[in-house]
Homo-oligomer: A and B are copies of this chain.
């Protein structure tokens, strides 16, 4: 692993703005459309108000608009807020190869920066692609060790993407880019103990803010160690038990962007319970009466049970509950934002159904599959298997489905305004000034 960080920094510093091919550009646009929808969807979440109440007084001069909010704040704080809004509903994109939500930390930093500094569409898209790509590559190279250790890698790896993306807009040279990576590595954080709480949404926001600051400090000459990724006390050694698959990392690095493995969620919750929601909703729509259900068995991959074993008392916890997933499907036949509120979790019909659900870890079931066996009170059973749920790499959301998702989740602004923003998002790569787009999201 000699000089890995140095080589990475040089490649990033030398990357050309015209290096994005048509396929990557198209998927980058889909990622940004999805991002803007979820950021607007979460912009009026209570967690946003809490952070503004707690820390808003420390904001520097308000140069940056925040997506979907009326406040203007300093750039790093805008990055924090954009990161929280875009992840708080757990509705953002996912790369199943490493379970990272890569766009939130990167785009949150970039939109915050662009809100206060003129950034053209092509420069924005290129910086986003570099940030997304480095997150995905570090994620792939350290998966599963880093994630299994208990890191919420959307934060702990996402920070590299934020630092690199902003570093690129600052036109950092090799040494400065290396320091930016070093400052990202040394602020990398985020524990999975927080799944089901507001702190999960905080992680990509913190990554965005710290990534912005890492790039700025690096530009100013703040020094770090020379081997932040590969050193014996560097990121891979300390957080991934030394796992860093260099071949996986380097495959196509500098010549291609790893967008092809990205997916978009149809349900606002942990991705591994999507199959359960879909199949239980299907059982509901085929006519199974919730009151007739005696018990439910969900056979899932061990990771799914490990991740989503929560017996929820809040909407945020419901997003990581295999029991809640089955219950909302069987009782309501759907899994929208309305099924992940505190009220939905407390709904007696859903709560009673959750108590009837059992989850069994089954090595023969893949992480994007589920086998559901519903036993009715009359002793009969309904059994269904789903190999890959909607939104999966094999069944990607179409552009039209992405647009429906975008428009259906937004409450912070009106529908007409949302449609105008959506239209602009599809053209991000050609806009003159991304700041105009950010400012257009402020509620009218």
Contact = CB atoms under 8 A, between A and B. Distances in A.
Interface of A: 47, 50-51, 53-55, 57-61, 74-77, 149-152, 155, 182-183, 185-199, 202-203, 206, 213, 216-217, 219-225, 227-228, 231-235, 237-238, 314, 316
Given A202-B186, A223-B199, A224-B198, A216 B149 contact: no
Nearest to A213: B55
A223 B75 CA distance: 24
A412 B299 CA distance: 66
Contacts of A220: 50-51, 53-54
A233 to B, nearest CB: 4
29 contacts: A47-B222, A50-B217, A51-B217, A51-B222, A53-B220, A54-B219, A54-B220, A55-B216, A57-B74, A60-B60, A150-B232, A151-B238, A155-B186, A182-B197, A183-B199, A183-B202, A186-B202, A186-B203, A187-B189, A193-B225, A193-B228, A193-B231, A193-B235, A193-B238, A197-B223, A197-B225, A198-B224, A199-B222, A199-B225
Contacts of A74: 57-58, 60
Looking at A189, A193, A225, which has the most chain B CB atoms within 10 Å of its CB? A193
Contact of A189 (B50, B188, B199, B221): B188
B61 A233 contact: no
A189 B186 CA distance: 6
Contacts of A77: 58
A235 B191 contact: yes
Looking at A195, A199, A221, which has the most chain B CB atoms within 10 Å of its CB? A199
Contact of A150 (B222, B224, B233): B233
Contacts of A190: 186
Contacts of A237: 150
A257 B149 CA distance: 32
A58 B55 contact: no
Nearest to A155: B186
Contact of A222 (B75, B198, B231): B198
A194 B213 contact: no
A213 B182 contact: no
Nearest to A53: B220
B193 A186 contact: yes
Contacts of A217: 50-51, 54-55
A191 B58 contact: no
Given A185-B193, A193-B234, A195-B233, 15 more contacts: A50-B220, A51-B217, A51-B222, A54-B220, A57-B61, A182-B199, A183-B199, A191-B235, A193-B224, A193-B228, A193-B232, A194-B224, A196-B225, A198-B224, A199-B225
Contact of A194 (B47, B186, B191, B197): B186
A187 B206 contact: yes
A396 to B, nearest CB: 30
Contacts of A224: 193-194, 197-199
Contact of A50 (B222, B225, B228): B222
Nearest to A216: B54
A76 to B, nearest CB: 6
A182 B194 contact: yes
Contacts of A75: 58
A143 to B, nearest CB: 16
* Shortest 3 CB-CB contacts between residues of A and residues of B: A192-B233, A150-B233, A150-B238
Contacts of A188: 189
Given A149-B238, A186-B203, A54 B193 contact: no
Contacts of A227: 193
A155 B187 CA distance: 10
A57 B60 contact: yes
A256 to B, nearest CB: 29
Contacts of A185: 191, 193
Contacts of A195: 225, 233
Given A149-B238, A213-B55, A233-B150, A198 B223 contact: yes
Contacts of A150: 232-234, 237-238
